[in-house]
Amino acid sequence: MKILAIETSCDETAASVVENGSQVLSDVIYSQIPVHNKYGGVVPEIASRCHLQAIVPVVGKAVADAGLEFKEIDAVAVANGPGLIGSLLVGVSYAKALAQALNKPLIPVNHWQGHISAVFIDWQPQYPFLALVVSGSHSGVVEVLARDSFHLLGQSRDDAAGEAFDKIARALGLGYPGGPAISLAAEKGDKEKYAFPRAKMEGYDLSFSGLKSAVLNHLNREKMQGRKISEQDVCDIAASAQEAICDILSAKAVSAANEHGITRLTLCGGVAANKRLRELLAERFTGELHYPSAHFCTDNAVMIGIAAYDLFLAGQTADLSLNASARLPLYF
């Protein structure tokens, strides 16, 4: 079964053809990073306009790269939330029209389930496992009981982990996206230099806004006292902030897994590309640890195509009343 998958939830216009939930026939990503870079973050209105311009060529290329014609596609899948509503609507509207024109099933996919499914590219899943989902828009700990059964154990009450990376990077003048920029600067910094706070949240919830504010307050204080932030200061702050974020995430994921007797942990979403986070998890978790290659950590349509196959087998298709939802919950 060849599924054409579409992903437009944030600032990547992506399309892919995946056969039987595992064979990647094409993988096209048009990234808007250069467009948003000068604003230090994604501008939602600009993102949806860019998706509008890119969606037709991106989908056309995905079908052509797979060596197919549109009529050979068996189903159309689309991420319908959570994400930026204007961006999601472009993908959802396009997918609905295409499914209708081709007279093929339409499969809506939750973006979180997509991220969780990205790890199946390199790993034949065994259940249950615990997924730490960490990206620019969401951070949470999910117990995955079966391919189509998820239990959200906790999530961020405020900023997502990636958002904290992005906002701290912007304040440090490191540009967007902040995660890779902070990681790079951190290589030359001292991670012990600043003890930025780790919020103690109940259960498996997370919080990053206090940590972000602590970094911003530190920078403002230095500025008000007329002190110049040197290149070395930037690296030390980057390393200390990265350490705090990765410490919070790894401690929470490991305690959630241990307390639930789960021996397999997966890491997914853009922040999963972070080397220090992977290192800390490897140090702290005694069970199996799996994560996708860096390319499949960040937004892509392959992960949507993989998840869509499972949803299709479970009969989870939609009709033309399908809508996008900025806050679509992950529940089953």
Residues in contact with Zn ion by CB under 5 A are 135, 299
CB contact at 8 A, 181 and 215: no
CA distances from 325 to 23, 31, 117, 195, 272 (A): 29, 22, 20, 38, 24
Position with the least CB separation from ligand KG4: 179
Among 21, 105, 140, 178, binds ligand KG4 (CB under 6 A): 178
Within 52-91, which residues bind ligand KG4 (CB under 6 A)?
A: none
CB contact at 8 A, 29 and 302: no
271 binds, among Zn ion, ligand KG4, none (CB under 5 to 8 A by kind): ligand KG4
Q: Quick one: 6 or 99, whose CB is closer to ligand KG4?
A: 6
CA distances from 134 to 19, 137, 291 (A): 27, 8, 12
User: Cβ of residue 297: shortest distance to ligand KG4, in angstroms?
Assistant: 7
Q: How many CB atoms lie within 10 A of CB 230?
A: 9
- Which token pair is 29? 């990503």
Position with the least CB separation from Zn ion: 135
Q: Quick one: 179 or 305, whose CB is closer to ligand KG4?
A: 179
The reply to whether 292 sits near ligand KG4 by the rule CB under 6 A is no
- Which token pair is 4? 């054409």
Q: Quick one: 189 or 292, whose CB is closer to Zn ion?
A: 292
The reply to whether 137 sits near ligand KG4 by the rule CB under 6 A is yes
The reply to whether 165 sits near ligand KG4 by the rule CB under 6 A is yes
| Rounded (10°) CA dihedral 97, 328, 119, 184 | 100
**Pairing of the two strands 12-19 and 129-134:** unpaired
Among 140, 154, 180, 292, binds ligand KG4 (CB under 6 A): 180
Among 162, 189, 292, 305, binds ligand KG4 (CB under 6 A): 162
Q: Quick one: 249 or 318, whose CB is closer to ligand KG4?
A: 249
Q: Quick one: 109 or 214, whose CB is closer to Zn ion?
A: 109
User: Cβ of residue 123: shortest distance to ligand KG4, in angstroms?
Assistant: 18
The reply to whether 13 sits near ligand KG4 by the rule CB under 6 A is no
Name the site residues for ligand KG4 (rule: CB under 6 A).
10, 135-137, 162, 165-166, 177-180, 183, 269-271, 273-274, 298-299
